[in-house]
Chains A and B, each alone.
Chain A
């Protein structure tokens, strides 16, 4: 009986939420996946370069501009890896609130902006390390 209720719940709620999502997408309340940008980004050569013009955002979070043609988590899935020196930082695709609150190398590629924190929550503008992004796909 428990298993029946469980699967009834899963199916019913999934159908209900799918219909709700369709309504929210039509009304523009939830951002639609940008399929054109995803396709265009796949046709280009993977990007590699240092980040510059870093600014403090909030808490442990800093921001930097990223070339707009690279598909980010806003559209679908970012393949950017943030390098601190020679080491890739852990925890890509982090929630922005978590980057601000916890830091410790969490980052997010969102639109044309990189939200990131350093591995030890120092200020990347004066900790003598170099930061680069590599599109790994």
Chain B
């Protein structure tokens, strides 16, 4: 934790009461005396990875596959802009929460743009992201539940959560759990799975695929995805693709293997319509809710400066 900007620690709070924490040796302590250990340089606010063991596995196996700073591409940056509409100019010098940091593909983008980023994740993906950003003083990673964020209220200028909330027990409730930590005038941008196409098909598969031991399913993906892609012009392969869609992001074979595993292995896989997501923003008093670049179920909205009540 040495060398990280103090500002990043100052926003941490007790997940139960959201009161400030103080440092006591290798732990953070709440005013009520509750201790949260710092293990391997990472503050831990949860006892384990609970229902997200698939993410613990995949992000420690593919810790750099999607990081632009590692691949030399701009695919994550392009996706970030497409799904949030946020730019370097908007984020530079701002305090941002990456809710569901994973291995850190979007934290990589934001921190390179000059933002101060706190990334949280329930899974042991934090081991990967902590290692990836060990030399960036403007990034702090913590293991915590998005449903009980370990922060003081109204501290973040921006909150982003791309492709994460639909993997929680209740997408809307976990979205709403983030809102108290957004500063007045701040913006929150999320992307969740749309209720369309292959996302619908996958939602039918999840009750079956999530039961498969992760290492076995990963081995299968490492065999099946290259096998399918070598035969992609065959009629029977296309039929298989429609019944069991694999990733076709054209970002390389490793990415497609990772993304296929990611699509079928989580415990929760919710799908939503754009109207539904915009409705969550409106019901919580957020303004200017809209899709930045026409990507369905990507929605960004603002917390009003002066709130009623």
Given contacts A13-B212, A24-B205, contact A77 B239 (CB under 8 A): yes
Cβ 8 A contact of B205, one of A20, A74, A91: A20
List B residues at the A interface (Cβ < 8 Å): 79, 82, 194, 196-198, 201, 204-205, 208-209, 212, 215-217, 219-220, 222-224, 232-236, 238-239, 242-245, 248-250, 293-296
**8 Å CB interface, A42-95 against B:** 58-60, 73-78, 91, 93-95
Tell me the smallest distance from the CB of A28 to a CB of chain B, in Å: 10
Give every chain A residue within 8 A of B248 (Cβ-Cβ). Answer: 94-95, 98
Query: Within 8 Å of chain B (Cβ to Cβ): is A101?
Result: yes
Q: Is the CB of A101 within 8 A of B295?
A: yes
Give every chain A residue within 8 A of B205 (Cβ-Cβ). Answer: 20, 24
Give every chain B residue within 8 A of A30 (Cβ-Cβ). Answer: 201, 204, 243-244
Q: How far apart sit A12 and B194, CA to CA, in the bound complex (Å)?
A: 31
| Size bracket of the A interface | 35 or more
Give every chain A residue within 8 A of B204 (Cβ-Cβ). Answer: 24, 29-30
Q: How far apart sit A60 and B248, CA to CA, in the bound complex (Å)?
A: 18
Q: Is the CB of B216 within 8 A of A13?
A: yes
Of listed A8, A9, A21, A24, residue having the most chain B CB within 10 A: A9
Q: Is the CB of B238 within 8 A of A76?
A: yes
Apart from A20-B208, A75-B239, A101-B79, 17 more pairs, CB < 8 Å: A5-B219, A6-B219, A9-B216, A9-B220, A13-B220, A16-B208, A16-B212, A20-B205, A20-B209, A30-B201, A30-B243, A33-B243, A60-B294, A73-B242, A96-B197, A98-B248, A100-B295
Some 30 contacts from A to B, beta carbons below 8 A apart, are A6-B223, A10-B219, A10-B220, A13-B212, A13-B216, A13-B220, A14-B224, A20-B208, A21-B244, A24-B208, A24-B243, A30-B201, A30-B244, A31-B201, A31-B242, A31-B243, A33-B239, A58-B294, A58-B296, A59-B296, A60-B294, A74-B242, A76-B239, A77-B233, A77-B234, A77-B238, A95-B245, A97-B196, A100-B295, A101-B295
Give every chain A residue within 8 A of B243 (Cβ-Cβ). Answer: 21, 24-25, 30-31, 33
Q: Is the CB of A95 within 8 A of B216?
A: no
Give every chain A residue within 8 A of B201 (Cβ-Cβ). Answer: 30-31
Tell me the smallest distance from the CB of B288 to a CB of chain A, in Å: 20
Give every chain B residue within 8 A of A23 (Cβ-Cβ). Answer: 208
**B222 to chain A: closest residue by CB:** A6
Q: How far apart sit A62 and B224, CA to CA, in the bound complex (Å)?
A: 32
Of listed B220, B233, B244, residue having the most chain A CB within 10 A: B220
Q: How far apart sit A77 and B215, CA to CA, in the bound complex (Å)?
A: 32
Q: How many pairs of residues, A versus B, come closer than 8 Å at their CB atoms?
A: 97
Give every chain B residue within 8 A of A26 (Cβ-Cβ). Answer: none
Tell me the smallest distance from the CB of B39 to a CB of chain A, in Å: 30
Cβ 8 A contact of B244, one of A17, A33, A91: A17
**B216 to chain A: closest residue by CB:** A9
Q: How far apart sit A7 and B252, CA to CA, in the bound complex (Å)?
A: 24
**A92 to chain B: closest residue by CB:** B233
Give every chain B residue within 8 A of A98 (Cβ-Cβ). Answer: 248-250
Give every chain A residue within 8 A of B217 (Cβ-Cβ). Answer: 9, 13
Give every chain B residue within 8 A of A60 (Cβ-Cβ). Answer: 294
Give every chain A residue within 8 A of B293 (Cβ-Cβ). Answer: 59, 101
Q: Is the CB of A93 within 8 A of B238?
A: yes
Top 3 A-B pairs, shortest CB-CB distance: A9-B219, A77-B235, A13-B220
**8 Å CB interface, A87-119 against B:** 91, 93-98, 100-101
Q: How far apart sit A21 and B245, CA to CA, in the bound complex (Å)?
A: 12
Q: Is the CB of B219 within 8 A of A76?
A: no
Given contacts A13-B220, A17-B244, A100-B296, contact A73 B238 (CB under 8 A): yes
Give every chain B residue within 8 A of A97 (Cβ-Cβ). Answer: 194, 196-198, 296
Tell me the smallest distance from the CB of B42 to a CB of chain A, in Å: 30
Cβ 8 A contact of A95, one of B197, B215, B232, B235: B197
Tell me the smallest distance from the CB of B305 to a CB of chain A, in Å: 31
